[in-house]
Amino acid sequence: MASTTTGYFGNLVDNQKTALATLAKGLTKEALTAEGLTEPSDMFIWGVDLTGVADAANDLAPGPTRVLLKFLRAREWDVEQSRAMLISCLKWRKEFNMRALLTATFADSMAGAGAVYGRDRDGNPVTWNFYGAMNASQVFETQSANDFVRWRVQLMERAVAQIDLNDASPTAPEAVMQVHDYAGASMRPTGTMREATKAIIAIFQDNYPEWLACKLFINVPGVMETLFQVFTVFTPARTKAKFRMVGASAARGALVEKVALENLPPQYGGLPAAFTPLPTSPSDASGTGTARAAAAEPVTETVPARGAMTVWVPVTKDQVLHYHFVTTGLDVAFAAGFAPAKGDKTSVPKNDKKTLERKEMATGEIVAPENGFVYLVFDNSFSYFTSKQVFYVTK
């Protein structure tokens, strides 16, 4: 969160500082003991130890400051309501046995339903939920709704663990982006699935205040809009404003808007293993004229309607050139090939023009038989009205 936004660590106005100090002073050992929070571990939350915050109320460390501010923002700076929410959260984490949850294992049928992968463009960790990859009937035939809830909470905690709330930088990340992919998912959830979903929504609303950076629903069928309204009827307006739903045709564009190509999972067009980590500088292969050096980072190009473009990458004999591209959703006609240095690198060989195939993404490699150029053709001449955005990288 940028330090220019008030209400966050590093940028508090006077009334916010007062509310923060007041909340901290009320978290005395006696008050916490009266609430049943008696063990040192009871005061440990999201990597932050809240022990002794009452004594340091006027000079809180970054971690406790960030934690308390989350509850204050969630309750519109009402100290009593913030205190009640925080105490309730700490008690829930104790009853939920959070320490055991972090190392718990779950059924294989749930393993492929979610992951923590990459960061969004603001540096926030991203959780991915693949509902189409989960056989809901199979999961809930052998697992209870509570098992699924615990699995989903663990996924969130794994993402939270990638954030250091104790970081002294005012611009350090302190939220998590969520992606929910409904491709192939059943739109007729079982009663147990509905029960689990409602429980998860309630848990996140009550116990993870101000943790949501953005919630992106992708590959969403029309019927989901109705379900969305039902499930979010009690969701605070500030939280609901962070939700976005898109269908299949707009899914990748919405993802790339929020998550850089190198942070996308491979199934969404993210960089394959050959590009990880990305090189720190362009290839030292040399060329002349209109040739371009190999891209060290993903390059963005717009191919106009009824237009085409060719990327030329200089290579030397026996060099292996890896390439990868992805569009934001709509396909382009694509071809890749090699042209010798002595040839005319300004035009693609006629034989290769015939190999153009319409694709939304492609990955491959070309071994240079001699010094020359690898070319990537992006042809949008079949589209009369729609330009296409292409992200490509070579190595």
Task: Kindly state whether residue 220 falls inside one of the protein's structural domains.
Answer: yes
Task: Kindly state whether residue 1 falls inside one of the protein's structural domains.
Answer: no
Is residue 315 located within the same domain as residue 173? no
Is residue 60 located within the same domain as residue 112? no
Residue 141 pLDDT: 72
Residues contacting 370, CB < 8 A, separation 6+: 317, 340, 341
HEC letters along 10-33: CECCHHHHHHHHHHHHCCCHHHHH
Confirm if 366 and 337 have CB atoms less than 8 A apart. Answer: yes
The span from the CA of 378 to the CA of 358, in Å, is: 9
Is residue 234 located within the same domain as residue 109? yes
Task: Kindly state whether residue 162 falls inside one of the protein's structural domains.
Answer: yes
Residue 134 pLDDT: 78
Is residue 200 located within the same domain as residue 136? yes
pLDDT beneath 70, residues of the chain: 1-4, 142, 187-190, 222-234, 276-296, 343, 353
* Strand order from edge to edge, sheet including 361-367: 299-303, 388-394, 320-327, 361-367
Coil vs helix vs strand at 242: coil
Here the CATH number for the domain that contains residue 379 is 2.60.120.680
State how far the alpha carbon of 228 is from the alpha carbons of 126, 209, 368, in Å.
Answer: 21, 20, 52
Residue 118 tokens read as 């990459």
Provide φ and ψ at 392, rounded to 5°: -135, 155
Domain boundary among 238, 268, 298: 268
Residue 46 pLDDT: 98
Domain boundary among 61, 95, 129: 95
Strands 243-245 and 212-218: parallel
Domain boundary among 44, 60, 95: 95
Task: Kindly state whether residue 309 falls inside one of the protein's structural domains.
Answer: yes
Confirm if 147 and 106 have CB atoms less than 8 A apart. Answer: yes
* Integer-rounded Cα radius of gyration of the chain: 26
Residue 258 tokens read as 């929020």
Is residue 289 located within the same domain as residue 235? no
Task: Kindly state whether residue 6 falls inside one of the protein's structural domains.
Answer: no
- How many domains in the chain? 3
Provide φ and ψ at 143, rounded to 5°: -120, 150
Is residue 253 located within the same domain as residue 377? no
Here the CATH number for the domain that contains residue 238 is 3.40.525.10
Provide φ and ψ at 7, rounded to 5°: 95, 0
| Partners of residue 325 on adjacent β-strands | 362, 392
Task: Kindly state whether residue 183 falls inside one of the protein's structural domains.
Answer: yes
State how far the alpha carbon of 59 is from the alpha carbons of 1, 52, 78, in Å.
Answer: 21, 11, 20
* pTM confidence score: 0.84
Task: Kindly state whether residue 4 falls inside one of the protein's structural domains.
Answer: no
Is residue 108 located within the same domain as residue 250? yes
Task: Kindly state whether residue 9 falls inside one of the protein's structural domains.
Answer: no
- Binning the chain into helix, strand and coil, the percentages to the nearest 5 are 35, 25, 40
Is residue 254 located within the same domain as residue 152? yes
Confirm if 109 and 142 have CB atoms less than 8 A apart. Answer: yes
Is residue 254 located within the same domain as residue 112? yes
Residue 262 pLDDT: 84
Is residue 120 located within the same domain as residue 264? yes
Is residue 124 located within the same domain as residue 150? yes
Is residue 65 located within the same domain as residue 154? no
Which structural domain range is residue 67 located in?
14-95
- How many CB atoms within 10 Å of residue 176? 25
